[in-house]
Structure 1
Amino acid sequence: MAAAEEKSDKGIDLFAVRSILFLPASNERAIAKARDASADLVVLDLEDAVKPADKRNARDAAVAAVASGWRMPVAIRINAIGTEWHSLDLDAVARAKCDLVVIPRAISAHLVHGVAEAVAKPALAMIETAAGVLAAAQIAGASVGLIAGTNDLRSDLRLPLDATRAPISASLQMIVLAARAAGIAAFDGVFNRLDDPEGFMREAKEGRDLGFDGKSLIHPNQIEPCHRAFAPSAAEIERARALVDAFKGGAERFGNEMIERMHVQDAERVLERAGG
């Protein structure tokens, strides 16, 4: 799998993905709602969101759910290597018609490559441990995208329950750096407080400022604000258009600043994200 690949081999432009909605594959009602939602990518979860007693039913439900058409790409998150469900999940995903596989607790490129090869599908790797953060650059080379698993990362780092995101800021930046170096997309972790929309927007905007392409979500109500947070503002779009129109080549003055080709590329990226 080429490290600089910008799309999965099924043609999914992950750089255009802003929202990744995770939901338990065991929840039939949630799956039905997700089909009509506006998420850019849906992940049917076999891991943390599913009780051990429900693992088999969730696996069967995920395979059945992806057998019919969806308006957006759909992935299945498997259980981690070393668990009793891992090999059964691999067999199920290999025959399922999902677009991607999501690998939890990725700690090595070898692990990610092995899973992707076993299921014959491109892999999104979740970086959610200290070991995963330190190996992120290598993991990115075997993946089509990285997802920050912030809840597990906090636990692995033994942070207090009421800690802010400051203690994991360096880890988040390393995930973005690894993704950018490999030419793949990067996605911020989930926001747990469903009754705090203002907090969600602050965190989503912070994620965009860090360089993430989008964010993981745990409820459909988070989709629309997520899309707003990761969309360029009207002022950004206006400035980008003016910059592109003004550029004549080489280093030159634009208002009170000096610009060159890289600034034009940044502006063109803003316009592409805004839909032109």
Structure 2
Amino acid sequence: MSDLARPRRSVLYMPGAKARALEKARGLPADSLILDLEDAVGPTEKEAARELVVQTLKEGGFGLREVTVRVNGLDTEWGEADIRAIAAMGPDAIVVPKVNAPADLHAVERLMDDAGAPAATKIWAMMETPIGILNAREIAAATPRLACFVMGTNDLVKELGALHTEGRAEVMTSLGWCLLAARAHGLAILDGVYNAYQDEAGNRAACRLGREMGFDGKTLIHPAQLDIANAEFGPSEADVELAKRQVAAFEETRAKGEAVAVVDGKIVENLHVETAKKLIAQAEAIAKMQAG
């Protein structure tokens, strides 16, 4: 499936140092996985975790799930070796932490090319610093390898000296600015994590807000959050049924030489049909993943 058509309702971080967790990931109902070599791995485990993730990628077995790897930054002693080793394995994407400027992505891209990374291996940029947020427009246009922005809201709140609030006022400006930059350059964009993974009501509200804003999905820290994210960011049966009726009604109207249809008492124009077709395509892609 094309990169933009791929469902990313649920994107689960999995610790790269834990073999059992990586094995479990193969059977979880996540659209995408981020095998993590950065925050989830302590300094003494970094090299062993890299070897484990390389072996995991070599073995495969993830079906149609998108598999990405978050590497350590190039400002650390592990970053360059991470990128070279992971790029050679050809995952769906390399997730780059704390992207501050286009030059950060250019440096990663050079290392990927040197390591023989396939053209299909993309870059995901984590947007989690004030300077990175301010440079979002330039970062979004940095390289054709860039496919996705990932909001790192925990780090961002820390850097802002802010407090986590239920309404997320502390990060709304950053979220909106990155959404604009991503959409202007045809990128996917993922909302940040919800920390209280046992709080189902809070998780649902956070997912719903992210969906209403326009995010493609949510990054998650625990498998218990998967079902809620999949439900909130995915189309319901009623959504799909309405979308199909909108497309059919519009096509019938166009056949008559008219420009506007009416479904359930509401106007349906070309822009509504584009949205409806995208929703139908998403539902079909999700069904394909579930069947595979």
TM over 0.5: yes
Identity %: 37
- Cα deviations by residue, 1:157-187 (Å, 9 ceiling, x for unpaired): 1102556411211211122211111112111
Aligned to 2:277: 268
Superposed, which structure 2 residues align to 1:127-206 within 5 Å?
127-141=127-141, 142=143, 143-161=146-164, 164-206=167-209
- Cα deviations by residue, 1:32-88 (Å, 9 ceiling, x for unpaired): 111111211111111111111111111111111111122223111111121122122
Q: Please give the alpha-carbon distance, in whole angstroms, between the structure 2 residues aligned to 1:15 and 1:179.
A: 16
Are the counterparts in 2 of residues 189 and 215 from structure 1 also a CA contact under 8 Å?
yes
- 2:66 partner amino acid: P
SS of residue paired to 2:179? helix
Runs (4 or more) in structure 1 with deviation over 4 Å come to: 161-164
Moved more, 207-216 or 231-240: 231-240
Q: In the alignment, is residue 233 of structure 1 matched against residue 236 of structure 2?
A: yes
Aligned to 2:226: 223
SS of residue paired to 2:105? helix
Are the counterparts in 1 of residues 123 and 147 from structure 2 also a CA contact under 8 Å?
yes
Aligned to 1:21: 12
Aligned to 1:3: none
Q: Please give the alpha-carbon distance, in whole angstroms, between the structure 2 residues aligned to 1:266 and 1:13.
A: 14
Moved more, 15-24 or 28-37: 15-24
Give TM-score, length-normalised by structure 2.
0.85
Aligned residue pairs: how many?
A: 267
Displacement of 1:253 after TM fit?
A: 4.9
- 2:163 partner amino acid: P
Aligned to 1:246: 249
Q: Please give the alpha-carbon distance, in whole angstroms, between the structure 1 residues aligned to 2:231 and 2:38.
A: 29
Moved more, 137-146 or 208-217: 137-146
Displacement of 1:139 after TM fit?
A: 1.6
**Uncovered stretches (5+) of structure 1, i.e. residues with no partner:** 1-5
Q: In the alignment, is residue 102 of structure 1 matched against residue 95 of structure 2?
A: yes
SS of residue paired to 2:125? strand
Q: Please give the alpha-carbon distance, in whole angstroms, between the structure 2 residues aligned to 1:14 and 1:132.
A: 26
Displacement of 1:262 after TM fit?
A: 1.0
Are the counterparts in 2 of residues 147 and 187 from structure 1 also a CA contact under 8 Å?
yes
Give TM-score, length-normalised by structure 1.
0.89
- 1:218 partner amino acid: I
Displacement of 1:256 after TM fit?
A: 4.0
Are the counterparts in 2 of residues 67 and 97 from structure 1 also a CA contact under 8 Å?
no
SS of residue paired to 2:58? coil
Q: Please give the alpha-carbon distance, in whole angstroms, between the structure 2 residues aligned to 1:269 and 1:163.
A: 31
Equivalent of residue 30 in structure 1, options 21, 25, 35: 21
Are the counterparts in 2 of residues 15 and 185 from structure 1 also a CA contact under 8 Å?
no
**Uncovered stretches (5+) of structure 2, i.e. residues with no partner:** 286-292
Are the counterparts in 2 of residues 14 and 185 from structure 1 also a CA contact under 8 Å?
no
- 2:36 partner amino acid: D
Equivalent of residue 79 in structure 2, options 79, 82, 86: 86
